[in-house]
């Protein structure tokens, strides 16, 4: 725990820039003296967005596996999103100030119950380190349903396909859909597979995305009898 208002600000340097699509980018950030950033898979850092008229605080999820440095944040442009625009303007060698990591949408240990990840677009970012962590140990069955608006937006696809090819206990289903179809399809899939599909309610779910669709998924699963604490979610 930390005293309110006294969190140390850290500096990171933009070490590498990777564009996944025209509107989706990863920044790889290094810390001074080759330091590592310790975090729990699923957490985010809080970046000081230094605009001409003010400084805003905006969260960006750590997308890289925990041991990896420089660490990666992944984000996309959003209408009116000054934070993402500011990040898109950063260049190699620029300094970024942040605090954290923060957040409780996390996976603290390798899953012992069947685990389903339902995510859209860049909301894959918090889930990626969770899956990496689980793949490093004996784990319960895991399934990732990643819905996106184009093949380009199915970021990390090759990596997840590689995991699925070598580990029969991990299934990966990418889906390309019209943006307006993403949540209706995720809801339909969840209902068909894990609500009406069987009576097993021992699974856990990790849901992540933007807007009310995440809440609709949460309500569907909790309403179907899954334990409240087995339905983890993060809505942006």
Partner 1 sequence: MAKLRVIFENGDPERIIEFDPAKAPFHHDGRPGSILDILLGHKIHLEHACGGNCACTTCHIIVKQGGKTLSEATEQEEDMLDKAPGLTPSSRLGCQAVVEDPDAEITVVIPRYTINLANESAEE
Binding site for partner 1 (CB under 8 A): 1-5, 7-8, 10, 31, 33, 35-40, 43-44, 46, 56-59, 83, 99-106, 108, 215, 218, 228, 233-236
Q: Which residue, 46 or 76, has its beta carbon nearer to partner 1? A: 46
What minimum distance in Å lies between the beta carbon of 204 and partner 1? 14
What minimum distance in Å lies between the beta carbon of 61 and partner 1? 10
Q: Which residue, 68 or 159, has its beta carbon nearer to partner 1? A: 68
CA-CA distances (angstroms) from residue 189 to 116, 179, 235? Answer: 12, 16, 19
Q: Which residue, 84 or 144, has its beta carbon nearer to partner 1? A: 84
What minimum distance in Å lies between the beta carbon of 35 and partner 1? 4
- 56-62 long-range Cβ contacts below 8 angstroms, 24+ apart: 56/82, 56/83, 58/83, 59/102, 59/103, 60/87, 61/103, 61/125, 61/126, 62/37, 62/101, 62/125, 62/126, 62/129
User: Among 209, 211, 12, which residue's Cα sits nearest to residue 100?
Assistant: 12
Q: Which residue, 36 or 201, has its beta carbon nearer to partner 1? A: 36
CA-CA distances (angstroms) from residue 18 to 33, 57, 113, 198, 219? Answer: 23, 23, 34, 42, 36
What minimum distance in Å lies between the beta carbon of 107 and partner 1? 11
Q: Which residue, 24 or 43, has its beta carbon nearer to partner 1? A: 43
What minimum distance in Å lies between the beta carbon of 168 and partner 1? 32
């Amino acid at each position: 725990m930390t005293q309110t208002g006294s969190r140390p600000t850290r500096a990171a340097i933009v070490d590498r820039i990777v564009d996944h699509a025209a509107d989706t980018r990863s920044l790889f950030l290094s810390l001074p003296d080759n330091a590592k950033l310790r975090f729990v898979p699923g957490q985010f850092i809080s970046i000081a967005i230094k605009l001409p008229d003010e400084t805003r605080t905006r969260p960006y999820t750590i997308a890289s596996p925990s041991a990896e440095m420089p660490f990666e944040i992944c984000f996309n442009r959003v209408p009116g999103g000054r934070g993402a625009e500011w990040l898109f303007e950063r260049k190699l060698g620029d300094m970024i100030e942040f605090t954290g990591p923060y957040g409780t949408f996390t996976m603290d240990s390798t899953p012992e119950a069947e685990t389903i990840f339902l995510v859209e677009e860049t909301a894959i970012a918090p889930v990626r380190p969770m899956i990496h962590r689980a793949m490093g140990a004996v784990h319960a069955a895991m399934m990732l349903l990643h819905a996106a608006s184009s093949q380009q937006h199915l970021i990390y696809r090759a990596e997840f396909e590689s995991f699925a090819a070598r580990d029969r206990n991990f299934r990966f289903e990418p889906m390309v859909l019209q943006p307006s179809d993403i949540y209706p399809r995720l809801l339909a899939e969840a209902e068909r597979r894990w609500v009406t599909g069987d009576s097993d309610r021992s699974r856990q779910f990790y849901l992540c995305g933007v807007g009310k669709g995440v809440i609709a998924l949460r309500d569907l699963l909790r309403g179907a009898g899954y334990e409240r604490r087995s339905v983890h979610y993060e809505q942006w």
